[in-house]
Amino acid sequence: MKRVYLDHAATTPVDPEVAEAMARVHRDVHGNASSIHAEGRAARAIVDEARERVAAVIGAEPSEIIFTGGGTEADNLALRGVLKAHRGERDGLVTSAIEHHAVLDTAHDLEREGVRVAVVGVDATGRVDPRAVAGAIDGRTALVSVMAASNEIGALQPIREIGAICRERGVVFHSDAVQAVGAVPFDVRELPVDLVSLNAHKLHGPKGVGALYVRRGTRLATVQTGGGQEKGRRAGTENVAGIAALGLVMRLAGERRERESVRQAALRDRIIDGVLARVPDASLTGHRTERLPNNASFVFRGADGPSLVMALDLEGFAVSSGSACTSGDTAPSHVLLALGLDAETAKGSLRVTVGRATTSGDVAAFLAALPPIVARIRGAAAVPA
Amino acid sequence: MSRVFVAMSGGVDSSVAAALLAERGEDVVGVWMRLVPAGHDAGAPRCCGTDEAGEDARRAAGVLGIPFYALDYADVFGRSVVDRFVRSYAAGETPNPCVACNRHVKFEALLRDVVAKFGADRLATGHYARVAHDGARHRLLRAADAAKDQSYALYMLGQRELARLALPVGELADKAETRRIAARFGLPTAAKPDSMDVCFIGGDYRDFVRARAPEAFRPGPVERADGTVVGAHAGIGTLTVGQRSGVGVATGERVYVLRLDLDRRAAVVGTREEVAATTYEVRDVSFTGSAPDERFRTEAVLRYRGTPLGGWVDVRADGATLELDAPALVAPGQAVVWYDGDEVVGGGTIARPRH
């Protein structure tokens, strides 16, 4: 069966050029980037070049880039590292109700260690109100963490406004931008943001490698200790091939972003318009225009999301219900509840995210397959148990 | 091609059921049913984690190369199996949770979803029983291996369910063959031990019931049928009609629980002769095919893997009366299943003995 992959917010297929670059590193460069000898220097050169590429794409200095084992680790380092650096002075963390679990669960873990956590809500389109953030900041706030774009509903967040507030109040500002960088303009020279989480696998790169941008002068304590790599800020032998891939991924994303985001937004709009026209009682989640170019997300009242995902999978379509989850646990998404949806409606969520290889034929096939599946699942759900 | 869903528990039997169907070239989809809610405290796996049994099922499906999904039936299982189990014990009955699960969860909620939601044609399980599809008639039969037979727990299936049911391991000669097949397919479940206990209870079922129905664990008197108090018991929830042990009586005589009087929290005990009855009322009666004559001769099985007992069944609109050839000890709440040779005719729930 021909497969149609429409779950690029979960992860993306690795670009062949990136896969080849990684294979080349694995084949030809075996040194430890910290070693003095020629093999070590060869590895170091690759890491240095990747750092320059990553920095260049977001307008940063290479020294402001810390490589990590992915976006979740970058989020952990940002939250834990900033709070730890402020220990004894400031103990407040402000974040939003629609953050990825990498941020929210870390915040709650820090809460158990005594950090004061304030969680601000969102409006019905999934956008954080900067004034709510301003209201949540107090004299003890060390860090504000608000994502650049929602992984579930694609809503772009007003990070420029939030960052300006943080500047004014002298509070460090972190943004998880794993969904945003490479999809929307993102330049730290003009965005008032101090820490930014990135990863490779949302941009046609490998899993397990990411980076944290740390603006020069930002106080960040070490969380992972060991051999002192990344200037002591993230110990562990460098994942040279992964880092090379991240560098290339960012370069390719930078080159392709403008054209590709216009193309993907057109596909996204066809999905949104097509679904809303063809499926009765369907609602778009997130903002109609202020959203990631590749994200179309919906709720279908009376149909449960996991069943929709399963039925579509059996017909060759890979989509998701909110975030990637396979546990058979149908608890509604915290993001959809934060929009003010009731739990029953929130259970009927479906996220469709396009990518570089998605064609208009894929979108047409999806739009043809979806309506009868929704109708069937709604019909089955209506039968009393 | 027709699509068949296999309910995979993570055990060897349902894994082999999936393997046998896949080997025949059928379009097989594995599903694991979440029956208890996933934890929501910080330490519990929230995303991308099932429990251990679910992981075993997933691995087996992976080895077979079939699609696999976890489906959430915790709500219906909680209501129709766990709550009933507790209520039943608290009411002095002895429930059969596997029968309740088959009736309400596997062959009602799951089967309905498989057909109506996912458009599949059939559901398969790893039960040891056989379904014979004779044209328009579908018969439920004992497993080829009588020692493993589980047809008792499937008596509630009607023609509608049986028409869509596949039970491939019921055709196998014995459990050893099941394990050989599992090993041949390289299934990681090949050497997994059989599950024996009530699946949703970790320890003693009495502790489980006590936590949910403490009122059933208040002590009460033990009496003879004539009203003479002969001892005390620890609570209705600790007693099973027909049981010998657990009653605080020191008469030297072998006594059994005859009945439980909930209003007075009294347990009435008697000798085997007093307790064993030949006539039982049966409720929630169902038949696998069209209902037989008003009165029919049967071999009745009164407990899982019990010996068939000869008797007669009188069918009424609201139930049935079972009349055994010889007295037997049966607890209310247990299932009675009527056989004609190897074929399951139907069955019901034992209401109470008539003396």
Residue with tokens 């200095």: A61
Tell if the CB–CB gap between B118 and A310 is shorter than 8 Å.
yes
How many Cβ atoms are within 10 Å of B256's Cβ, its own excluded?
Answer: 20
Query: Rounded to whole angstroms, how far apart are CA atoms A160 and A173?
Result: 10
CA-wise closest residue to A171 among A58, A91, A287: A91
The CATH number for A285's domain is 3.90.1150.10
Please report the ipTM that was assigned to this predicted complex.
0.84
Chain length of chain A? 385
Q: Is B101 a catalytic residue?
A: yes
Q: Which of A327, A377, A383 sits opposite B50 (nearest CB)?
A: A327
Question: For residue B92, what pLDDT is reported?
Answer: 86
Contact predicate A269/A367, CB 8 Å? no
* A210 lies in the same domain as A127: yes
Shared domain for A111 and A136, answered yes or no, is: yes
Residue A212 and residue A339 share a domain? no
| Homologous superfamily of domain range B218-274 | Adenine nucleotide alpha hydrolases-like domains (2.30.30.280)
What CATH number should be reported for the domain holding residue A149?
3.40.640.10
Scanning B55-94 for CB atoms below 8 A from A yields 67, 69-72, 76
Contact A359, A5 (CB under 8 A): no
> Could you tell me if A335 and A220 lie in one domain?
no
Please give the structure tokens belonging to residue A364. Answer: 């047409």
CATH of B276-353, one of 3.40.50.300, 2.40.30.10, 2.40.340.10, 2.40.50.140: 2.40.30.10
Instruction: Give me A263's structure tokens.
Output: 């193309």
Task: Output the pLDDT for position B242.
Answer: 84
B39 touches chain A (CB under 8 A): no
Rounded CA Rg of chain A: 21
The number of folded domains in chain A is 2
Query: And the tokens for B274?
Result: 């007093």
**pLDDT confidence of residue A71:** 97
Burial class (CB in 10 A: 0-12, 13-18, 19+), A225: exposed
Q: Which amino acid is at B10?
A: G
Q: How far is B99 from chain A (nearest CA, A)?
A: 17
How far, in Å, CA of A93 to CA of A110, rounded? Answer: 9
Contact between A311 and B117 using a beta-carbon 8 Å cutoff: yes
d(CA B13, CA B168): 9
Chain A closest-CA separation from residue B172 CA (Å):
30
B45 at interface of A, judged by CB pairs closer than 8 A:
yes
B107 touches chain A (CB under 8 A): no
Indicate whether this model's pTM tops 0.90.
Answer: no
The CA-atom distances, in angstroms, between A79 and each of A45, A112, A173, A223, B287 are 30, 14, 10, 10, 63
C-alpha distance from B299 to closest chain A C-alpha (Å)? 33
Contact between chains at B32 and A328 (C-beta distance less than 8 A): yes
Distance from CA of B190 to the nearest CA of A (A): 24
Taking the domains of chain B in order of start, what are their residue ranges? 3-127+167-184, 218-274, 276-353
Do residue B117 and residue A381 have CB atoms under 8 angstroms apart? Answer: yes
- Per the structure, the complete domain to which residue A24 belongs is given by 16-253
Asked if B40 has any chain A CB less than 8 Å from its own CB, the reply is: yes
Architecture of domain B3-127+167-184: 3-Layer(aba) Sandwich (3.40)
Å between A379 CA and nearest CA of chain B? 8
Distance CA A203, CA A249 (A): 6
A211 and A287 both lie in a single domain: no
**Option in A310, A323, A376 nearest B116 (CB):** A376
| Most B CBs within 10 Å, among A330, A333, A344, A383, to test the B interface | A330
* Residue owning tokens 């309905």: B112
Q: Which of the listed residues A253, A280, A302 is the one where a domain comes to its end?
A: A253
Same domain, A269 and A299: yes
pLDDT for res A327: 53
Instruction: For residues A30 and A97, state if they share a domain.
Output: yes
Please identify, among A253, A273, A306, the residue that sits at the C-terminal boundary of a domain: A253
For residue A170, give the nearest of A190, A191, A141, A147 by alpha carbon: A141
Q: Are residues A276 and A215 in the same domain?
A: no
| B37 contacts chain A (CB < 8 A) | yes
> Where would I find the H helices in chain A?
16-28, 38-58, 71-85, 101-112, 130-136, 159-169, 240-278, 305-314, 334-338, 343-346, 360-382
- Same domain assignment for residues A122 and A230: yes
- Single out the residue in A203, A235, A253 at which a domain terminates: A253
User: pLDDT in tens for each of the 385 residues of chain A?
Assistant: 799 999 999 999 999 999 999 999 999 999 999 999 999 999 999 999 999 999 999 999 999 999 999 999 999 999 999 999 999 999 999 999 999 999 999 999 999 999 999 999 999 999 999 999 999 999 999 999 999 999 999 999 999 999 999 999 999 999 999 999 999 999 999 999 999 999 999 999 999 999 999 999 999 999 999 999 999 999 999 999 999 999 999 999 999 999 999 999 999 999 999 999 999 999 999 999 999 999 999 999 999 898 999 999 999 999 999 654 545 556 788 999 999 999 989 999 999 999 999 999 999 999 999 999 999 999 887 655 4
Least CB–CB distance from A376: residue in B47, B67, B119: B119
- A167 and A42 within one domain: yes
Q: What is the pLDDT of residue A255?
A: 94
- In angstroms, the first-to-last Cα distance of chain B is 56
Separation CA A195–CA A211 (nearest Å): 10
The residues of A assigned a catalytic role are: 325
Q: How far apart are CA A42 and CA A44, in angstroms?
A: 5
Together in a domain, A240 and A268 = no
Looking at the fold, whether A363 and A265 belong to one and the same domain comes out as yes
A23 vs B330: CA distance, rounded Å: 70
Can B199 be counted among the known catalytic residues? yes
* pLDDT at residue number B255: 86
What is chain B's Cα-based Rg?
22
Contacts of B117 in chain A (CB under 8 A): 307, 311, 376-377, 380-381
Determine whether the interchain pair B45/A327 forms a contact, defined as Cβ–Cβ distance below 8 Å. yes
